[in-house]
Amino acid sequence: MLAAVSSFGLSGIDAYPVTVEADLSRGLPAFEIVGLPDAAVKEARDRVRAAMKNTGLEFPTARIVLNLAPADRKKSGAAYDLAILLAILKASGALGADLSGFGILGELSLGGELRPLPGVLPMVLGAGALGLREVIVPFDNAPEGAVAQDVEVYAAKTVGEVLEHLRGGQRLPRCGAIPSEQAPLPPVPDYADVKGQAEAKRAVTVAAAGMHNLLLLGPPGSGKSMLARRLPSILPPPGYAEQVETTKLHSVAGLLPRGVGLMAQRPFRSPHHSISAAGMAGGGVSPRPGEVSLAHHGVLFLDELPEFSRPVTEGLRQPLEDGAVTISRVGARITYPSRFMLVAAMNPCPCGYFGHPQKACSCKPAAIERYLGRVSGPLLDRIDIHLEVPAVDYESLTGRAPGRSSAEMRREVEAARSIQLARFSELGAEIFSNAAIPRALLERCCPLTGEAQRMLRLAFERLGLSARGYDRILKVARTIADLDGSEKIESAHIAEAVQYRSLDRKYWNR
């Protein structure tokens, strides 16, 4: 007898339908799984057999062939366990319920309990588009299941509960009716703790308001890492669409905290400099999102930028430009979104004191050149704001005058961001920040006064800017104008934006 149960697979952060087909026939008892299963899928044979035995279900003595269609796509993970068990029961006649219209997800323990899965959120969100009316997920994935609005998503703890639901007995609880407990958010340090550095705080405010990439360069102890790690305290909360995309990525990666439905905070990722190129961009035998995608709609902080390997830093160029990273394998091509704010910190030389007013640099010129040369010109060109962070003087450290707090800076950032969102809404563009303005909309989004046009032309000619550098100055100037509440970009806004692009000329002679 033949039976079929609907389940899901993942391609990037999007779901595609997988039909679990079971055929029972006469012959020597056997249990074969076909349809390009990986090792975890093949091991479902033992999990399903043990779960049926330990829940009082009879495992059929027959030749069983399981096909996971479409057969030409690689299947991975344990998400098909429950669907395989139900397909076998249906094919053997032990389950008479009509399974059409149901989507089934769940990893089985040997005792028949359902264990949580990665990637449930994109699967339940895609269920409606696939024409399914109900989806059953593990109980611990209920917060993710509650996000879906187009289908009814139910949460189950055991195989017995699922069978009772399908047979018309005790109904499973809807995911939206299950209370979830979110872990308290970790405290975020305040910019009021940063002594002095008024110019740096202004640049950080501009960067946060437009989600512009930022490079902090200065001697050890000047506060570069302090400035970067306080960025989450001034970033505006993500909108619903941003929350869904961010949560889908963390769900697929298996990093979504337990009890979390949607991630309410922007991610802040700070990988160690020993990270591999695959860890940064994503990949692996079964491709997973890398740090550039896990930082989507948030911040990717690279401390000690020159210490990262050249393949890692050069691998940032495409995600920074395209807002996505594509991983190609022999049997698949997967794209993950990766529109993030890059914040990098570095010293001006190996010892850190090149150009310091009090401490002498001990590095030879060739060593300084090699150190700075680890950061390539094309990568620098993709960073909107280059900021020199000087050493803090004694008066600033011991002064009692309060510095600008995160609350003050956040109010400015949120006001500027609301102006941007209103502008993009009028244009009908799905853009969330000035840094993401496409080239085709620059002229409409960035009107210049006559004086500002003359100043920008002069800067372009004297600094020898590239076309990318020109665009980025214009976007930063747009953000500065938004912070001032100005519809048109004026000469003062251009002057400040140009100032943020001069550091590479000082240290890299570019």
What is 260-327 written as a DSSP string?
A: -SS--S--EE---TT--HHHHHEETTTTEE-HHHHTTTSEEEEESGGGS-HHHHHTTHHHHHHSEEEE
> In the structure, what pLDDT confidence band is assigned to residue 8 with cuts at 50, 70 and 90?
very high
Task: Name the residue among 212, 210, 226 with its Cα closest to residue 501.
Answer: 212
pLDDT number for residue 158? 96
Neighbours of 40 (CB within 10 A): 17
Q: Is 58 exposed, middle or buried (0-12, 13-18, 19+ CB in 10 A)?
A: exposed
Q: Are 203 and 387 in contact (CB under 8 A)?
A: yes
Question: For residues 226 and 195, what is the distance between their CA atoms, to the nearest angstrom?
Answer: 10
Region 151-180: mean pLDDT is 91
Residue 299 pLDDT more than 60? yes
Direct distance between the N- and C-terminal alpha carbons of the chain, in angstroms, rounded to an integer: 72
Region 201-228: mean pLDDT is 93
Residue 45 pLDDT more than 90? yes
pLDDT tens digits, 191-203: 988 888 889 999 9
pTM: 0.90
Region 152-169: mean pLDDT is 94
DSSP state letters, 421-473? HHHHHHHT----SGGG--GGGHHHH--B-HHHHHHHHHHHHHHT--HHHHHHH
Region 24-52: mean pLDDT is 92
Residue 181 pLDDT more than 70? no
Token code pair at residue 51: 């779960």
Token code pair at residue 185: 């958010």
pLDDT number for residue 418? 94
pLDDT number for residue 283? 81
Question: For residues 313 and 328, what is the distance between their CA atoms, to the nearest angstrom?
Answer: 19
pLDDT number for residue 9? 92
Region 290-308: mean pLDDT is 95
Parallel/antiparallel/unpaired status of strands 324-328 and 333-337: antiparallel
Q: Give the least confident one: 30-34, 194-198, 204-208.
A: 194-198
Region 52-56: mean pLDDT is 94
Residue 54 pLDDT more than 70? yes
Q: Hunting for tokens 């495992």 — which residue is that?
A: 59
pLDDT number for residue 192? 87
Question: For residues 329 and 141, what is the distance between their CA atoms, to the nearest angstrom?
Answer: 30
Cα torsion angle, 429, 434, 438, 439, sign: positive
Question: For residues 108 and 81, what is the distance between their CA atoms, to the nearest angstrom?
Answer: 6
pLDDT number for residue 264? 86
pLDDT tens digits, 242-256: 999 999 999 999 998
For the chain, give the longest Cα–Cα distance: 88
pLDDT number for residue 398? 67
pLDDT number for residue 28? 87
Catalogue all structural domains in the chain, each as residue range(s) with its CATH number: 2-177 (3.30.230.10), 191-410 (3.40.50.300), 426-506 (1.10.8.60)
| Mean per-residue pLDDT over the chain, rounded | 90
Cα torsion angle, 150, 154, 155, 160, sign: negative
Q: Are 475 and 437 in contact (CB under 8 A)?
A: yes
Provide the Cα torsion 221, 226, 229, 232; round to 10°.
-160
pLDDT number for residue 505? 66
* DSSP letter, residue 140: G
Question: For residues 262 and 243, what is the distance between their CA atoms, to the nearest angstrom?
Answer: 6
Q: Are 250 and 256 in contact (CB under 8 A)?
A: yes
Q: Hunting for tokens 């979390």 — which residue is that?
A: 260
Question: For residues 430 and 437, what is the distance between their CA atoms, to the nearest angstrom?
Answer: 10
Question: For residues 375 and 418, what is the distance between their CA atoms, to the nearest angstrom?
Answer: 34
- The fraction of the chain above a pLDDT of 70, given in percent, is 95
Residue 212 pLDDT more than 90? yes
- The fraction of the chain above a pLDDT of 90, given in percent, is 64
Question: For residues 420 and 111, what is the distance between their CA atoms, to the nearest angstrom?
Answer: 54
φ, ψ for residue 428 (rounded to 5)?
Answer: 70, 25
